Amino acid sequence: MIQTIEASPDEIYDIELEHSLLEANAKLAKENRSLLDRHGIASIDVMGAIGSGKTTLIGRLVERLKDRLGVAVFNGDATISSDADLIARQNVPVVQIATVNGCHLDANLVGKALRKIDLTKLKLIFIENIGNLICPAEFPLGSKARVVVVSVTEGQYMVRKHPHMFLGADLVVVNKIDLASAMEVSIEDLIADVHKLKPDLKVIRTSCKNGVGLDELTASLLAI
């Protein structure tokens, strides 16, 4: 159930790239979106730092959803396939998008992944972006919603350090809340930082350790 696509050197764009390439990405993102819309598939771009818990969170959501509707997962990772392997154990279609040394996914790579799987049976695709809170914000993928995962283990100032990520988000997950007191991080202050940037942005608190917030997150994603 696991397939891999890999970026060739001419497909690796970076943040310093010219405006025309960002435009090219935006055009490809629109094409991805219309392909997904034609098939009635919602896709969710999951962004967040390395170690924020994106893969585990997606795994928990797939567990809750896979018997109810067709779910697939694209795992963006620079090289190794450990995250894709973990999700593939749940017997859902998985495409590993290996960016080689690219620090974000782009619409071209996601378009290639979309051509790798049978879209007719799917209703939802999770796209795990590369662990990076800077340039994924510049690269829409054609997803229906962008979710940012921020964990208390990343410290108190993660949100205010990366405003563009949160300004472009449709939903924020504050993850690993079971570790908040050990980390001496205030969840309330993290959420206040989110709302200073975007007052109406929905924030859900989760812990994959004890399951808190996962049903609420599942329901919110299904409503997107």
Tell me how far, at minimum, the Cβ of 82 lies from Mg ion, in Å: 8
- HEC secondary structure over 33-63: HHHHHHCCCEEEEEEECCCCCHHHHHHHHHH
What's the rounded Cα separation, in Å, for the pair 107 and 139?
A: 7
Question: Is there binding between residue 106 and Mg ion (CB under 5 A)?
Answer: no
106 interacts with, out of Zn ion, Mg ion, none, CB within 5 to 8 A per kind: none
Structure tokens at 13: 């764009």
Binding residue for Mg ion (CB under 5 A) from 52, 55, 96, 132?
A: 55
135 forms part of the interface with Zn ion (CB under 5 A): yes
Name residues whose C-beta falls within 8 Å of residue 156's C-beta, 6 or more positions apart in sequence. Answer: 185, 186, 189, 190
* Cβ nearer to Zn ion, comparing 54 with 104: 104
103 belongs to the binding site for Zn ion (CB under 5 A): yes
- Neighbour-count burial for 138-147, b at 16+ CB within 10 Å, e otherwise: bbbbbbbebb
Considering the complex, what minimum distance in angstroms separates the CB of residue 207 from Mg ion?
17
Residue 38 φ then ψ, to 5°: -60, -30
Tell the residue number behind the tokens 């990772």, with chain if given.
77
State yes or no: residue 104 binds Zn ion (CB under 5 A).
yes
Which of residues 104 and 205 has its CB atom nearest to Zn ion in the complex? Answer: 104
Least Å distance between CB 215 and Mg ion?
22
Among positions 45, 83, 106, 193, the unique one binding Mg ion when judged by CB under 5 A: 83
| Nearest-angstrom CA–CA distance, 149 and 45 | 11
Nearer to Zn ion, 104 or 146 (CB): 104
Q: Using CB under 5 A as the criterion, which residues of the chain lie in contact with Zn ion when the complex forms?
A: 103-104, 135
Q: Using CB under 5 A as the criterion, which residues of the chain lie in contact with Mg ion when the complex forms?
A: 54-55, 83
